[in-house]
Structure 1
């Protein structure tokens, strides 16, 4: 009945009576089946009354901590429904609540079904933005989910794998902020997965279903690709090559910076070999923030000069991003110069209290197109004529003026 009831609990006397006379005594019962049904009913009542939910959050967390697997799943489902119904502020007033979810995510070896239920629950909370962007735990949750997706221990837990195969790309592509958060946790997640792989190798368990680290890196690059991020009002598709070139690629520039920082941090040679090739897979957009482009280019140039990467594949990846950034920086510099020249050529020097015309001479030489503003002389009619050293130019101007004078005299 409670599953089909809507409205405010306190405004329904029958529901209040049922809560006090049936549900609460059932929760306090020493009979496990009765207590579990009472817990479920109390959770449904909490969806109808916010104050009741706040009062019993600790009780639901207690049932999760002390209960068996089925009871833990019920408690997780109740907590998730309460958060979706009554808002994220409950997380702010109960910071230990997210630790319950983290604990459930890490319970795979003991209770894979609890891990699967927790994965579904957290995916709902993060996609619905119930867990706010400002939460200090959101990055820990995301990193844990990324590691779980590639961890060989979840290879046979289809509930976890299927949920994450949907959640991770959808979460990343839905908002720029989500892509940036994925970028922030990507390298830490890869480091954790690298440690898992080393442990498996040390234990001789090489036959475990472990995705290669290069494939994992490719997934992380893909999930942070700015061309695939949804932008409200933008109908961009993967086939719109022209539109894709106008995408801001700051997230991958920051990714490149993170990679360089990690490569300099003294990680093992094997981990370097895993991370360095990712530099070549990043999308470098010419429409990214100019300041960031120049900063990353400078850092990449330093890495090239210092020979940061030893293996050939990694070096080639570093050279590739260096060349791509160099082309963009050169293009930006040329545009700045062209803009400066156009501004100079468009400036008209003012002559006091008189209307005068300035003639500028375009002078093409070996150094490129240059516009010269040269010494001017004033004729009788107040026209300012450029004084150019080139004899042919002076002669042509004189001839033109003489021909004009002749026309006026004969007229």
Structure 2
């Protein structure tokens, strides 16, 4: 009797499954429902259907596989025959439980939906897996592998929502024993997908390299999230290598986004400092601040921490502190005084700084320890002396006794052989503070240089006999290293180099010419006669600094600098070229170029140089000259445009960043500059000059010819070479020459040539008329460029010319490619409508004012870019005036520079290759026959994440 009752109850429960389970699911969807209650009910039904007898702890369970299968079928609601599998044939059923078998059946069924065509099915299946996988417990190995395989396929889905759910599920399936897949997850193109990975990825030694890469993510939110979540929650920041640690801090604190900088500072001040028990010295010791001194990263890190925690800190430096300095404490003292000085906290600064005399003794004491230290401790004392010299810049030298003592100590230290360059610079800074004025400072430094020469036994007579200006005949630029190994000669060479360094630091801090500079000039000229390449380079640098202070000396040595650019080795070229550009900016291009031989040819030579650094320096210098309107040359401007897009320049990030700022700033600063780019982007062949004379439209064909040349280069690319897509180049040329983006346009449209792109449109049609059937790419790019041009404000003559030539082209050489033909026809229909509207306005003007001439009645038809009204009175189809591309949507290349540009979007990508967003189509047509065909409706196409 006791056995029959449960059996009857189980049979009734199984029979009522088709009504019981749907009822539970319907009730669970109501608002304010307690889902736990329904979960318990489902569990009870599952146990009744699956067990012949109630479960007893510690005893094996008696399963009813038929009832369990009935529950699974009703739960999943799958009426196909695929579920009619014989569960009694499974192996190791005794080791499984009701829940594990239910999970396997449910997951296998959901996996089938991951490859469904419908987006909603794929999305919900991925979402169910993502929500369930964290509470499933231990999974069967086969099911685990099937889940991973299916989810890895979905992270390449074309829909971002599916990819987000897929990576969420994968992040919860991750195992510490498995190697991460660097292609998937963090490198997916969608920002939101990478964000989900960052939030869910476990921080291990295997995943750290991929997390660090996200510090250069193009999305600012992802960069901020990296610093505020995984890196902040890392158990010990020493898991990250010292090099990577300082790279992360440098990128975070130098990020162009303020929120990223704030997240980086908060990570350091709120999280990492906790790992050192809020002990600053312990924290600095763990951070290894001496290794992060290059580029000032350590200082920036500590300054950020101090500024954030300044209100909760109380730092005092007593005598015991100064007597027992370590590298970390000395570094803390210097940065803390700098922070107080930058925040103008003078009272606090006076409390922590020692007197000038006492500080001089501290410098002297630790310098003596440095000179006597063993090799193990030498670097520590060297670092401490450098920090003390930095602290000395914040002292008040009104105390005459302290000033004299400091000067005496500094003079003794600067005479020490083998002094690091950083120390020399700090010593010169302090000596300038102890000097009475600039003339006194120059005299002091000249005396120091003389003492160094005497100690090295340098023949002063030989120095005085050197000429003020180096004769070019005696100037040898080829490297001829000496084979001398005499210690005395080596000592003399090092002494000369030290003298040049001191001279360089001195001249960098001088603002006017001095009679003592003659001695410096003689010293510099003397170094040219030597064989040492390093001395020649430093001597040339110092000569350039002297020339900045003396115009006559600068003009006297222009030919020397030009000779170094043309014939010197790479380092000498770079220094001489920078000097020339600096002199042009200071004394004016006409003044300097008078002393040079064919300056434009020299610039062309530098832009075509094999050295990427020389190309960058030349481009930067020319950009400054052109932006300042000091220099105008059409050929040079053409070379800059070609250089910007040329395949060999794709990896030259410095040049790309420089020109990415220059071209928008130059083109949009004035209408004349914009017309110059439209005209001179390509040199016109000699046989076309007669066309320019006869037809002014040909004066604007040079921009189109540039595009032709770059497309030819694009078609000739070899394997492994990269170049910007021609359509991207066309959009960027269109953006640069858009008259609505010129600065004067905001003040008055009368000051802007609104028809600059109309003349370009004429040339596009003429080029299309001359293309052969094989010029498919050029025809496609030109037809793609044509709708991007702003043609609503062109004059009547240009408008008529475009329409007439377009009709001739359509009759004689029609475009057969469907997409290109549609774009071309859309523009022509727009212009024809514009012509009708212009004619109607002319008639209305004549009727209202018969005395007015026809010339005064012809006006532009387009509305201002900021307006939304139409420019048509009575036309056959609506014609809205296009909005100009905003500055934020500028199709300019992204940059890793921290400085934002006013006319291009701030760079979000670690790659410097020019990229673009689609330029607005200024002539959209509502005709459905002109629209492109719909995309393939197969939603299962995988998303291409290679970009």
Same fold (TM over 0.5): yes
In the alignment, structure 1 residue 253 sits paired with structure 2 residue 253: no
Query: 1:225 touches 1:283 (CA, 8 Å); kept in 2?
Result: yes
Q: Is 1:178 matched up with 2:178?
A: no
Contact map agreement 1:102 1:141 (CA 8 A) in 2? yes
Is 1:43 paired with 2:548?
A: no
2:708 is matched with 191
Give how far 1:92 is off. 5.3
Structure 1 residues 193 and 18: alpha-carbon distance in aligned structure 2, compared to 1, 3 A threshold? same
Distance change (3 Å), C-alpha of 1:129 and 1:342:
same
What is the alpha-carbon distance in structure 1 between the residues aligned to residue 547 and residue 709 of structure 2?
Answer: 39
Q: In structure 2, do the counterparts of structure 1 residues 47 and 292 end up closer, same or farther at CA, with 3 Å as the change threshold?
A: farther
Unpaired stretches in structure 2, ≥5 consecutive residues: 1-505, 682-702, 853-873, 875-947
SS in 1 for 2:744: coil
> Could you say what secondary structure the match of 2:743 adopts?
coil
Q: Using a 3 Å threshold, how does the CA distance of structure 1 residues 334 and 91 change in structure 2: closer, same or farther?
A: farther
CA contact (8 A) 1:276 1:309 kept: no
Matched, 1:213 2:726: yes
Does residue 1:76 correspond to 2:76, yes or no?
no
Question: Which residue of the partner structure matches residue 98 of structure 1?
Answer: 600
Matches of 1:30 and 1:344 in 2, distance apart? 86
Alpha-carbon distance in 1 for matches of 2:830, 2:755:
15
- Cα distance in 2 for partners of 1:38, 1:142 equals 33
The match for 1:230 among 743, 765, 789 is 743
Q: Please state whether the residue corresponding to 1:61 is helix, strand or coil.
A: helix
**Deviation string, structure 1 residues 78-130 (Cα, Å, up to 9, x no partner):** 011011111121465336223222222222xx322222222222222222222
Against the structure 1 CA distance between its residues 277 and 327, is the aligned structure 2 distance closer, same or farther, given a 3 Å change threshold? same
Residue 763 of structure 2 aligns to a residue whose secondary structure is helix
- How far did 1:275 drift? 2.0
222 and 345 in structure 1: CA distance in 2 versus 1, 3 angstrom threshold: closer
Q: Work out whether residues 704 and 760 of structure 2, in 8 Å CA contact, stay in contact via their aligned partners in 1.
A: no
For residues 32 and 79 of structure 1, the distance between their equivalents in structure 2, rounded to whole angstroms, comes to: 20
Whether 2:155 is the aligned partner of 1:155: answer no
TM-score by length of 2: 0.32
Distance 1:91 1:310, change over 3 A: farther
Q: Deviations over 1:127-162 (max 9, x none)?
A: 222213xxxxx3222222222222222222211122
CA contact (8 A) 2:742 2:752 kept: no
1:260-275 to structure 2, matched below 5 A, reads 260-266=765-771, 269-270=775-776, 271-275=778-782
The separation in 2 between residues aligned to 1:189 and 1:307, in whole angstroms, is: 23
Q: Distance in 1 between matches of 2:573 and 2:705?
A: 29
CA distance in 2, matches of 1:177, 1:198: 33
CA contact (8 A) 1:247 1:285 kept: no
Asked whether the equivalents of residues 91 and 98 of structure 1 are also in contact (C-alpha less than 8 Å), the reply is no
Q: Bigger CA drift: 312-321 or 214-223?
A: 312-321
Corresponding residue number in structure 2 for 1:64:
565
Asked if 2 retains the 8 angstrom alpha-carbon contact of 1:143 and 1:188, the reply is no
**Aligned-partner Cα distance in 1 for 2:763–2:677:** 12
Distance 1:82 1:143, change over 3 A: same
Find the counterpart in structure 1 of residue 618 from structure 2.
118
Q: 2:790 aligns with which of 283, 303, 310?
A: 283
Quick one: distance in 1 between partners of 2:723 and 2:566?
A: 31
**Quick check: 1:248–1:289 contact (8 Å CA) kept in 2?**
no
1:214-268, Cα deviation, whole Å (9 max, x unpaired): 111111111111121211763x9xxxxxx9xx97531111211232233344576
Report the CA distance shift for 1:113/1:104 in structure 2 as closer, same or farther (over 3 A).
same
Contact 1:27/1:34, CA 8 A, preserved across alignment: yes
Please identify the structure whose Cα radius of gyration is greater.
2
Alignment match, 2:532: 31
How far 1:28 sits from its partner (Å)?
4.1
The size of the alignment, in residue pairs, is 322
Whole-Å separation in 1 of the counterparts to 2:763 and 2:539 = 50
Structure 2 vs 1, CA of residues 283 and 232 (structure 1 numbering), >3 Å: closer, same or farther?
closer
For 1:114 and 1:248, how far apart are their aligned partners in 2?
A: 36
The residue number in structure 2 matching 1:365 is none
Q: Distance in 2 between matches of 1:127 and 1:173?
A: 11
**How far apart, in 1, do the equivalents of 2:591 and 2:804 lie?**
45
In the TM superposition, what is the alpha-carbon distance from 1:344 to its structure 2 partner? 4.6
Q: 1:130 to 1:29 in 2, by over 3 A?
A: farther
Deviation at 1:345, TM superposition (A): 10
C-alpha change, 1:247 and 1:114, in structure 2 (3 Å) is closer
Mapped to 1, the partners of 2:565 and 2:733 lie a distance apart of 33
Aligned-residue offset at 1:308: 5.1
Q: In the superposition, relative to structure 1, how do residues 233 and 282 fare at CA in structure 2: closer, same or farther (>3 Å)?
A: closer
Aligned mates of 2:672, 2:546 — CA distance in 1? 35
Q: CA deviation digits over 1:323-370, x for unaligned, max 9?
A: 222222222222222222223599xxxxxxxxxxxxxxxxxxxxx9xx
Q: Alignment RMSD, CA only?
A: 2.8
CA gap 1:311/1:247 in 2 versus in 1, 3 angstroms: farther
Give the Cα–Cα distance (whole angstroms) in 2 for the partners of residues 161 and 13 of structure 1. 43
1:22 correspondence with 2:523: yes
CA distance in 1 between counterparts of 2:845 and 2:745 reads 33
In 2 relative to 1, CA 323–232 (structure 1 residues): closer, same or farther, beyond 3 Å? closer
Aligned residue for 2:507?
2
SS of residue matched to 2:813: coil
2: distance between equivalents of 1:98 and 1:345?
53
Question: Retained in 2: the 8 A contact 1:64–1:76?
Answer: yes
Give a deviation string over 1:271-307, Cα, whole Å, max 9, x none. Answer: 2332232111111123x33443334343334333433
- Alignment check: 8 A CA contact 1:72 1:114 kept: yes
Partner Cα separation in structure 1 for residue 592 and residue 619 of structure 2: 18
Q: Quote the Cα distance in structure 2 between the aligned partners of 1:26 and 1:173.
A: 47
Equivalent residue runs for 1:139-154 within 5 Å: 139-154=634-649
Change (3 A) 1:106 1:326: same
- Name the CA shift for 1:66/1:331 in 2 (closer, same or farther; >3 Å): same
Question: How do 1:118-137 residues align onto structure 2 when only pairs under 5 Å count?
Answer: 118-132=618-632
Q: Please report how far the alpha carbon of residue 42 of structure 1 lies from its aligned counterpart in structure 2 after TM superposition.
A: 1.8
Q: Tell whether the 8 Å contact from 1:155 to 1:209 is kept in structure 2 after alignment.
A: yes
Q: TM-score normalised to the size of structure 1? A: 0.70
Over 3 Å counting, the alpha-carbon distance change for 1:324 and 1:55 in structure 2 is farther
